[in-house]
Amino acid sequence: MLPRRDAALSLTALLALGLAACGTVQVPAGEAATDPVCADIVLAAPPQVLGMDRVETSSQGTAAWGSGEDTVVMRCGVTPPGPTTDQCATLADENEIEVDWVVKEIEGDTFLYTTYGREPAIDVSVPRSAAPDQPSAAALDLTQVITRNIEATSRCIGPGDEDYEG
């Protein structure tokens, strides 16, 4: 099994290969992509993210929007993050509906958002070029579909939270 950093870098390399191909975006499936909830998530995923149209993907439990290097990719059924020192942010959409995300910057040009406290977990890769000023907008575009289909079982904690020990 690859360490998490190597796995994330491998994911980025695989996504880059898929984005270079014409037509269908080649995306590796998450480990639990066959979970029936992932089918519901993919079917309910919006037709646009960041104003970009949805495109075909190669794997079960995945969706993508955009083209070329600007493609945003969602994978359902990825390994849920456990307790972490990585940035964990609560993002609320325009209706104040919240989803917690572990946020990592990969290779300086892609943000990887992974749902925290929800199973199956979902990750969303957002190239900086697709949303240079607000990459979190892609995750926000998926808030409704995530909260309708996957209940939160835990939340990010941080300064100001009574359980915080940092």
State residue 22's pLDDT score: 57
Round the average pLDDT of the chain to a whole number and report it.
86
Given pLDDT bands bounded at 50, 70 and 90, which one contains residue 163? very low
- H-run or E-run covering 19: helix 4-20
pLDDT at 68 over 80: yes
The Cα–Cα gap between 35 and 37 comes to 5
pTM above 0.85, yes or no: no
Q: What percent of the chain has pLDDT over 90?
A: 77
* Number of neighbours of residue 27 by Cβ within 10 angstroms: 26
pLDDT at 128 over 90: yes
State residue 108's pLDDT score: 84
pLDDT at 123 over 60: yes
